[in-house]
């Protein structure tokens, strides 16, 4: 995989406008009353076992495969917000149990149910998690892991923050991509206009182009926790959309 291919990947809706650099700075607004730890109505702590995933409406729940036993629920506080919260749930015989809860970030302009390349919004929906990779060596991922020096990005983000290291660890979100391939694979079954390269990756301190970001320790832990035998998915969107 060449650096040029990675550039093509991240310029069609993913988390970067260039694999080499980004220098444009824009205003990064924060919604009134928003904090780095977004509180979502209906949150439950680790150890609780609800019958259904908290905060999800019947339409969203219906999109979760019956055999899924792990779900990372990423909930944004508003449609136009770039701050969110990620909770990893595991399904047991008695219900869904929250295993971990982390602050997260998403795209600069928030969320959309009709993601397009370059719209600076993260796609709303339920997506499988099949493949991982990164610039650094496998930290113990159960998902297939592809290490490559081409997981690199430089320059600065929307708030002027350095982007270096953001792709040290990534988990591919199966939106408009070929499952069973490296996250670097540029194949887009829905076409380039629908974007792609949507990942869970290392947080760089600002909003993304479409991905979900978590702190480095949390991405590492998630890589170790996600189990292909449990058919993991990510359920992602603003709270209002997920409640439908």
Catalytic residue at 211? yes
Catalytic residue among 201, 204, 209, 218: 201
Catalytic residue among 115, 204, 209, 211: 211
The pair of structure tokens assigned to 89 is 């749930």
The pair of structure tokens assigned to 68 is 């899924």
Encode 163-191: b = buried (16+ Cβ within 10 Å), e = exposed. Answer: bebbbbbbbbbbbbbeeebbbbbbebeee
Q: Which residue has the tokens 């990779």?
A: 133
H or E segment and range at residue 99 = strand 95-105
Nearest to 174 by CA among 90, 20, 68, 100: 68
Catalytic residue at 15? no
- What is the set of active-site residues? 201, 211
């Amino acid at each position: 995989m060449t650096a040029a291919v990675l550039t093509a990947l991240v310029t069609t809706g993913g988390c970067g406008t260039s694999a080499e650099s980004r220098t444009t700075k824009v205003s990064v607004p924060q919604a009134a009353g928003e904090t780095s730890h977004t509180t979502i109505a209906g949150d439950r702590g680790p150890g609780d076992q609800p019958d259904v995933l908290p905060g999800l409406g019947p339409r969203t729940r219906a999109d979760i495969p019956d055999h899924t036993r792990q779900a990372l629920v990423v909930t944004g506080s508003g449609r136009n917000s770039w701050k969110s919260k990620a909770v990893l749930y595991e399904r047991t015989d008695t219900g869904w149990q929250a295993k971990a809860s982390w602050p997260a970030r998403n795209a600069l302009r928030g969320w959309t149910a009709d993601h397009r390349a370059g719209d600076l919004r993260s796609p709303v929906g339920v997506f499988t998690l099949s493949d991982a990779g990164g610039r650094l060596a496998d930290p113990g991922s159960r998902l297939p892991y592809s290490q490559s020096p081409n997981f690199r990005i430089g320059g600065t983000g929307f708030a002027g923050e350095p982007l270096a290291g953001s792709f040290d660890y990534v988990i591919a979100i199966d939106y408009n991509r070929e499952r069973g391939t490296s996250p670097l694979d540029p194949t887009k079954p829905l076409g380039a206009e629908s974007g792609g390269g949507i990942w869970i990756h290392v947080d760089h301190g600002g909003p993304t182009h479409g991905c979900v970001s978590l702190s480095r320790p949390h991405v590492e832990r998630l890589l170790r926790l996600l189990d292909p035998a449990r058919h993991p998915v990510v359920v992602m969107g603003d709270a209002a959309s997920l409640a439908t």
